[in-house]
C-alpha cells in the first residue's frame, strides 16, 4: 500500500522508494453505473460525463470531512463511494489495450458532493460543489498488480455503520481502461492524476427521504482487493 500524505501544499502519494508523488489532477466521472443513472432519472450516457475536482480536496483516511459554512444552510452534502484510478506515469493518446501500464494503482474514494452547489449554485457546473477542501478522501493506494481485474470488485459505502451502497464495479458503463484511454485523448494525464470512476446506486440525494451528511457522522468506503477509507464528518 502507498500512503496518502497531506501537507499545507496539498496531498501526495508516498512511493515505495520513499519519494512523494504530488496529486496533480483529480477527474470525476458522472453517472457511470447503470443503476445509478436510473436512480437519478437519466438514460445511460453515451460518452463519459467528465468533471474536475480541486486537488486540494484530497485527504487521507482518518481526517475529517469538514463541511464549510456555505454548505450548511441547505444540508445537501452527500456521501459518494467510488473506485479511484491513480496514474503512475504521463499518459497521452493511449489505447485501451495499453492503458493498464500507465496505472499505478487503485484506491477507495469518497467524492463528497455539495448537491446544491453542484446543481444550482454554480450555473449547473459540477466543479464547485465537488471541490471544497476535504471533499475527496482517498484510501492508501493498492498497487495495480495486487488488485487484479478492476471490473470485478465490490464497493460498499457505510454511513454510521449502515450500508448505503453495495455494488459490483461490473455495473460500470465505461470501465477503468476505457476511462484512462478516453481521458488521455489529446490531453496529458500527469503522473499523480486521480480518476474517480463513478458511484453506484444508493447515494443520499436519490433516497426517499434524502439522506445527507450531518455533523458527527462517519463515512466508510470499502472496495474489495483495494482497501477502505473511513472519515468523520465535522461541520465548520
Summarize pLDDT for 82-139 with one digit per residue, the tens: 999 999 999 999 999 999 999 999 999 999 999 999 999 988 889 999 999 999 999 9
Is the predicted pLDDT of residue 40 greater than 80, yes or no?
no
CB atoms closer than 10 angstroms to residue 94: 20
Tell me, what's the pLDDT at 74? 81
Mean pLDDT score across all residues of the chain: 95
Q: Comparing C-alpha atoms, which of 123, 120, 114 is closest to residue 53?
A: 114
Interval 189-216 mean pLDDT: 96
Tell me what the mean pLDDT of segment 157-170 comes to: 97
Domain 22-235 sits in CATH at 3.90.850.10
Cβ neighbour number for residue 70 with a 10 Å cutoff: 14
Q: Please return the burial class of 134, using the count of CB atoms within 10 Å of its CB with bins 0-12, 13-18 and 19+.
A: buried
Higher pLDDT, 13 or 7: 13
Give, in order, the Cα–Cα distances in Å from 1 to each of 56, 143, 178, 181: 22, 7, 24, 25
Residues forming a β-bridge with 10: 7
pLDDT tens digits, one per residue of 62-73: 999 999 999 998
CA dist., res. 21 & res. 94, Å (int): 21
Cell of 201: 446506486
Output the nine-digit C-alpha cell for 103: 496505472
Q: pTM for this one?
A: 0.96
What's the rounded Cα separation, in Å, for the pair 52 and 47? 16
Task: Determine what percent of the chain is predicted with pLDDT higher than 70.
Answer: 100
136-138 vs 193-196, strand pairing mode: unpaired
Amino acid at each position: 500500500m502507498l500512503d496518502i500524505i497531506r501537507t499545507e501544499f496539498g496531498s501526495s502519494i508516498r512511493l515505495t522508494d520513499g519519494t512523494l508523488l504530488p496529486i496533480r489532477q483529480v477527474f470525476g466521472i458522472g453517472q457511470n453505473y447503470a443503476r445509478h443513472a436510473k436512480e437519478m432519472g437519466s438514460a445511460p450516457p453515451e460518452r463519459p460525463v467528465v468533471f474536475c475536482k480541486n486537488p486540494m480536496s484530497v485527504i487521507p483516511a482518518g481526517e475529517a470531512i469538514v463541511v464549510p459554512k456555505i454548505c450548511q444552510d441547505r444540508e445537501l452534502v452527500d456521501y459518494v463511494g467510488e473506485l479511484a484510478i491513480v496514474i503512475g506515469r504521463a499518459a497521452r493518446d493511449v489505447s485501451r489495450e495499453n492503458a493498464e501500464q500507465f496505472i499505478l494503482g487503485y484506491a477507495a474514494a469518497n467524492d463528497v458532493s455539495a448537491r446544491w452547489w453542484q446543481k444550482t449554485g454554480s450555473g449547473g457546473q459540477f466543479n464547485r460543489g465537488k471541490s471544497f477542501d476535504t471533499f475527496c478522501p482517498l484510501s492508501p493506494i493498492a498497487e495495480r498488480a495486487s488488485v487484479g481485474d478492476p471490473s470485478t470488485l465490490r464497493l460498499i459505502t457505510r454511513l454510521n455503520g449502515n450500508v448505503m451502497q453495495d455494488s459490483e464495479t461490473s455495473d460500470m458503463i465505461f470501465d477503468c481502461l476505457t476511462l484512462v484511454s478516453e481521458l488521455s485523448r489529446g490531453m496529458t494525464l500527469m503522473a499523480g492524476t486521480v480518476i474517480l470512476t463513478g458511484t453506484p446506486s444508493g447515494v443520499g440525494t436519490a433516497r426517499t427521504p434524502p439522506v445527507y451528511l450531518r455533523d458527527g457522522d462517519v463515512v466508510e468506503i470499502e472496495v474489495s482487493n483495494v482497501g477502505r477509507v473511513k472519515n468523520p464528518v465535522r461541520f465548520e
